[in-house]
Structure 1
Amino acid sequence: MPTYELALMLRTMSRPEIVTTLKRTTEAIFSKGGFLRQLDYLGDKQLPYRVHKNSQKHFTGSAFIVTFDVSPKKLDDLLEEYTRDVDILKRSIFKIEDEPQKIECTLDEELKPPAYRKEVINMMEKAAKGQKEKYPQNTGLNYYPFQK
């Protein structure tokens, strides 16, 4: 099963209400055959715009990130269940890549002057291969006659 991240924005509530809402959302994952990997609380956040839900205006909310594994076929059911939930203001599910890309540090290479960098040398060689040979003008003179 692939790993997903659920970004939740809950309405501002007391701590026991938040706990029951989180239990309800995680039990939905368990009921679909998934399992929970991690639950992070990001704090109370100001919403970028007011959200109207159940004839109420919300300006702030509690942000959570839930990392879980579930079958891709069950994602639509989860999203539908979360849209019907009264306490969830916003929700988004993102797929997490299996293997993060390994980034090689090239700081030493980048601190060199451009003429000594491997990438620049390769580009110059590639450009030199594409240039046409310059043919000398056959004028018989050893100087340019139109120069002032």
Structure 2
Amino acid sequence: MPTYEAALLIRTMPLVELKTSLARIAKLILNQKGIIRSIDSLGHQPTPFKISCTDSQHREAHYFIIKFDSNIKMISRLRDEYNRDVDVVRQQFYKVRDERAISCELEKESQPPAYREEVQEMMKQGKKQQNPFTYKFKYNSGMTHYPFQK
């Protein structure tokens, strides 16, 4: 199952109510066979603009990032549930790239370009190809005269 991040803005409320709403939000993921990896709080901050949601306007919100594993069908269900939730002001889902695929090749990249294997292969290919700008007219092409001569 791929890993996703849910960026959630939750309306301003006391800490006890915030805990219960976070528990309810997390249970929605767990009930649909998702695996929660982490829940990070970014704190209580002002929103960049006025957000209207469920007949009220919000200028401040609690910011949370929930990282979880699930299938793609579950994301659409979660969007529907969070749209109906009164406490969730705004939500956005992102797919997380696999971080294990990145490998460090600093030693190869720090070499001068002329010594890199990739550049040497490109130079060999360039020498094999004919330069299109050095084409000359062949006089034995079957024409008796050069047609562009004045």
Give the alignment's TM-score, normalised by structure 1. 0.73
CA distance in 1, matches of 2:18, 2:129: 66
Matched, 1:72 2:72: yes
Compute the displacement of 1:96 (Å). Answer: 3.4
CA distance in 2, matches of 1:116, 1:30: 53
CA distance in 1, matches of 2:5, 2:78: 12
- Identify unmatched segments of 5+ residues in structure 1: 135-148
Per the alignment, residue 113 of structure 1 pairs with 112
CA distance in 1, matches of 2:36, 2:61: 23
**CA deviations over 1:100-131 (Å, ceiling 9, x no partner):** 3222323x333333322322222211111113
- Identify unmatched segments of 5+ residues in structure 2: 135-150
Compute the displacement of 1:97 (Å). Answer: 4.5
Compute the displacement of 1:91 (Å). Answer: 0.9
Q: Which amino acid aligns with 2:85?
A: D
Question: How many residues matched?
Answer: 133
CA distance in 1, matches of 2:34, 2:114: 55
Percentage identity across paired residues of the two chains? 37
Matched, 1:30 2:18: no
Shift of the 95–111 alpha-carbon distance from structure 1 to 2, 3 Å rule, reads closer
Give the alignment's TM-score, normalised by structure 2. 0.72
Compute the displacement of 1:99 (Å). Answer: 6.3
Q: Secondary structure at the match of 2:104?
A: coil
Q: Which amino acid aligns with 2:82?
A: Y
